[in-house]
Structure formats: structure tokens, C-alpha cells
């Protein structure tokens, strides 16, 4: 391996790096041929540095490849230009240091380095979302249960007009289920009216509602 360095060249490092990126890793002979037809100022300078690096190692251009072609920033020359009203504007003239390394072509130099692939673990959120989705699909496959639930025949508050207070009074009189309400006779209703004080004709609605609940309960069962 041999190298050549050119320092304090009047060249912008930003412009020079555009050329070095193109020739990096190329065969020296191919790089010199391609730089010859580039109109950039940096192309002519870099080609001379490459030729110097090849000559320093007593190589032939076709034998070696460009291992490294680097451009470092040098000192900036500061100048000024006269402007209107006695003022002056600043002019910056950058310099660069160019370093080129060449070496014999080998399989290590020609083949690009393979990136080591690391298996990234999937976030837990996706797994949980998938489980939830699967659970939802399994629920869809399951037969739907009947939305109607069995009626509690011991709950007298299902009848209109019966609240907690009136329910306690009816239980005290021995009426504890809707089935008993459906089987009430007129005499029993009159007796309850005297003791509890049932207003209006609520007893008629109780009988109708109790019979409907019993019919629905039999259908569901």
C-alpha cells in the first residue's frame, strides 16, 4: 500500500469531496481515465494525487485500487472587497488537504462489507392486537346466545305501579311471586284494596302484565 498527500491546495473541500466519492474503491487506471474527462477543477488535481500515490509504490495503475480518497479542510484565506460608502465585504478562500491511498486489488478490497442483519423483535403491542383480533374472530364463530334472559318470577317490581314499599306490603299479605298475582281473585283484590289501599284499577293491569310475563317465560323455557 502507498499513499500521496497534497496540502494547502486552493480548492473548496465540499467541491472536492463530490469527486472523491465517485473514485473511491475504483481501479486506479479506470479512475484516472474517468477523471480526465471531468470538467471540474477538483478532477484534475485529484487525478495527479492518484498518479503520485501509484508511482510512490512502484505500481502499475491497472494493478491497484483506490482504498481511500479523503479531503480534509485546510486554513481559510480571508480577503476583502471594497463596497459602497467606504464599506468592505468579506471574501473567504478555502483550502484543502487531499490524501489518497492505493493498494493491490484483493477480495477483501473489492467485495463490499456485508451488513450484519439483526433480527428485530416485534413490539408486544402488535402481538396483543393480533390476539385480540383472533379472540374477536373466535367469538364471531361461536353461536350467539339469546339476548333475552329468564324472568325472575319472584320480583314483583316488574309490574307497573309496584315499588319497594308496596312490594313489602304485598309480601306481608302472602303474595311473593308474579304467579300468585296472576291467580288473584276479585275477592282477594278487594281485600288487598281495603288493607293496602290500591288506588284506581291497577289490579287489572297487574293481572294482564302478570299473565303476559308467565306466557313469555313458558315460551323461553
Q: What is the pLDDT of residues 63-73, one digit of tens each?
A: 999 999 999 99
Separation of alpha carbons 208 and 205, rounded Å: 5
- Grid cell 491511498 is found at 101
Determine the pLDDT at residue 120: 61
**Nearest 5°: CA angle at 13, between 10 and 17?**
130
**Per-range mean pLDDT, top range of 56-65, 121-130, 155-164:** 56-65
CATH number, domain 2-110, options 3.30.565.10, 3.30.360.10, 3.20.20.100, 3.90.470.10: 3.90.470.10
Give the residue with greater pLDDT, 175 vs 202: 175
Would you say residue 125 has pLDDT above 60?
Answer: no
Q: Taking the domains of the chain in order of start, what are their residue ranges?
A: 2-110, 156-220
Averaged pLDDT, 94-105: 94
Residue 101 β-bridge partners? 3, 68
**Average pLDDT value over all residues in the chain:** 79
Q: Which three cell numbers stand for residue 94?
A: 478555502
Whether 32 and 55 have beta carbons less than 8 Å apart is answered as: no
CATH number, domain 156-220, options 1.10.150, 1.10.390, 2.40.10, 1.10.20: 1.10.150
Would you say residue 37 has pLDDT above 80?
Answer: yes
Q: Is the dihedral of CA 209, 211, 214, 216 positive or negative?
A: negative
* Identical fold, 2-110 and 156-220: no
Averaged pLDDT, 201-211: 69
Burial of 195 (0-12, 13-18, 19+ CB in 10 A): exposed
Averaged pLDDT, 101-125: 63
Separation of alpha carbons 96 and 132, rounded Å: 62
Q: Which pLDDT band holds residue 146 (cuts at 50, 70, 90)?
A: very low
Determine the pLDDT at residue 203: 61
Which are the contacts of 163, defined by CB distance < 8 A and separation ≥ 6?
Answer: 157
Cα atoms in the Cβ-side hemisphere of radius 13 Å centred on 140? 6
Whether 102 and 64 have beta carbons less than 8 Å apart is answered as: yes
Tell me the Cα Rg of the chain. 49
Q: Is the dihedral of CA 134, 136, 141, 143 positive or negative?
A: positive
Would you say residue 150 has pLDDT above 60?
Answer: no
Burial of 34 (0-12, 13-18, 19+ CB in 10 A): middle
Amino acid at each position: 500500500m502507498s499513499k500521496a498527500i497534497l496540502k494547502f491546495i486552493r480548492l473548496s473541500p465540499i467541491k472536492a469531496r463530490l469527486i472523491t466519492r465517485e473514485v473511491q474503491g475504483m481501479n486506479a487506471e479506470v479512475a484516472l481515465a474517468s477523471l480526465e474527462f471531468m470538467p471540474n477543477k477538483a478532477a484534475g488535481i485529484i487525478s495527479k494525487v492518484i498518479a503520485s500515490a501509484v508511482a510512490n509504490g512502484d505500481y502499475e495503475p491497472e494493478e491497484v485500487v483506490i482504498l481511500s480518497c479523503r479531503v480534509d479542510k485546510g486554513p481559510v484565506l480571508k480577503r476583502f472587497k471594497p463596497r459602497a460608502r467606504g464599506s468592505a465585504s468579506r471574501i473567504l478562500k478555502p483550502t484543502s488537504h487531499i490524501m489518497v491511498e492505493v493498494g493491490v486489488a484483493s477480495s477483501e478490497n473489492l467485495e463490499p462489507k456485508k451488513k450484519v442483519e439483526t433480527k428485530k423483535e416485534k413490539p408486544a403491542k402488535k402481538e396483543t392486537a393480533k390476539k385480540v383480533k383472533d379472540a374477536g374472530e373466535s367469538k364471531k364463530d361461536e353461536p350467539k346466545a339469546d339476548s333475552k334472559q329468564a324472568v325472575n318470577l319472584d320480583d314483583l317490581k316488574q309490574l307497573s305501579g309496584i315499588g319497594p314499599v308496596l312490594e313489602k306490603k304485598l309480601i306481608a299479605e302472602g303474595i311473593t311471586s308474579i304467579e300468585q298475582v296472576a291467580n288473584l281473585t276479585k275477592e282477594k283484590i278487594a281485600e288487598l284494596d281495603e288493607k293496602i289501599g290500591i288506588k284506581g284499577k291497577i289490579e287489572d293491569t297487574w293481572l294482564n302484565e302478570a299473565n303476559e310475563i308467565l306466557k313469555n317465560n313458558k315460551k323461553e323455557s
